[in-house]
């Protein structure tokens, strides 16, 4: 059965590290939104346009992979309600199971160390996330089942916990109602993370 795993977490929380480890374990393609946004920034697209454009391309690629019968791990934060809605709709339209996994690094000194020392792409910040600087962004308040992982734990433990959660709690697909990304629908705007 197809699977859509939506990662979530602030920059430096470990979501990309966990996503890259989950991909092979789940036989899924890992899509990193920062790769798309960074490419747009390198091509000279303004920050104001690169955010929305990167999400449009990102979700379009995800929909294409699902149509080809490939599971996906979506490596992007879901601080914008439309992002969470789009990942759910992708799963629903593809008849895929859906799981939300949030990464958290409660050790702020470790989070700062990760941000300072990582090999950051053009779109990735080197400072903690300040949601007040990003219009429309909000802390995820969904009541749907999700797993919150403390990423100061060993990666192998995190992978095993994530897989156990996905197997036990991923939502069964609902009947597709609408395409995941109707033409003309805009992605979240003004993103920073």
CATH number, domain containing residue 114: 3.40.50.300
Q: Domain span at residue 133?
A: 3-169
User: How many domains does the structure of the chain reveal?
Assistant: 1
* pLDDT score for 184: 43
Between residues 31 and 81, the one the model is more confident about: 31
* pLDDT score for 83: 85
Q: Judge contact between 99 and 54, C-beta under 8 A.
A: no
pTM value > 0.85: no
Task: Fill in the DSSP letter of residue 127.
Answer: S
Does residue 119 sit in helix, strand or coil? coil
Residue with tokens 């090999």: 119
Tell me whether residue 179 is in a domain.
no
Tell me whether residue 55 is in a domain.
yes
Rounded mean pLDDT of 122-150?
68
Q: What counts of helices (H) and strands (E) characterise the chain?
A: 6, 5
Asked if residue 90 has pLDDT above 60, the reply is: yes
Tell me whether residue 42 is in a domain.
yes
Residue 150 bridge partners (DSSP): 104
What are the CA-CA distances from residue 108 to residues 8, 79, 158 (Å)? Answer: 17, 20, 19
* pLDDT score for 122: 75
Tell me whether residue 190 is in a domain.
no
Q: How far apart are CA 161 and CA 156, in angstroms?
A: 9
Tell me whether residue 121 is in a domain.
yes
Instruction: Look at 10-14, 150-154, 178-182 and tell me which has the smallest mean pLDDT.
Output: 178-182
């Amino acid at each position: 059965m197809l699977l859509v795993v939506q990662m979530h977490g602030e920059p430096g929380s470990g979501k990309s590290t966990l996503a890259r480890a989950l991909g092979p374990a789940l036989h899924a393609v890992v899509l990193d939104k920062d790769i798309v946004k960074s490419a747009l920034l390198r091509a000279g697209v303004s920050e104001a346009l690169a955010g929305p454009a990167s999400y449009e391309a990102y979700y379009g690629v995800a929909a294409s992979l699902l149509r080809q019968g490939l599971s996906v791990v979506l490596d992007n934060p879901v601080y914008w309600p439309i992002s969470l809605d789009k990942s759910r709709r992708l799963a629903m339209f593809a008849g895929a199971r859906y799981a939300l996994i949030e990464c958290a690094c409660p050790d702020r000194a470790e989070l700062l160390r990760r941000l300072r020392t990582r090999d950051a792409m053009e779109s990735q910040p080197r400072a903690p996330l300040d949601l007040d600087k990003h219009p429309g962004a909000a802390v995820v308040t969904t009541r749907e089942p999700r797993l919150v992982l403390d990423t100061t734990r060993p990666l192998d433990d995190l992978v095993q916990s994530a897989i156990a959660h996905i197997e036990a709690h991923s939502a069964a697909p609902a009947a597709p109602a609408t395409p995941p990304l109707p033409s003309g629908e805009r992605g979240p705007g003004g993103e920073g993370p």
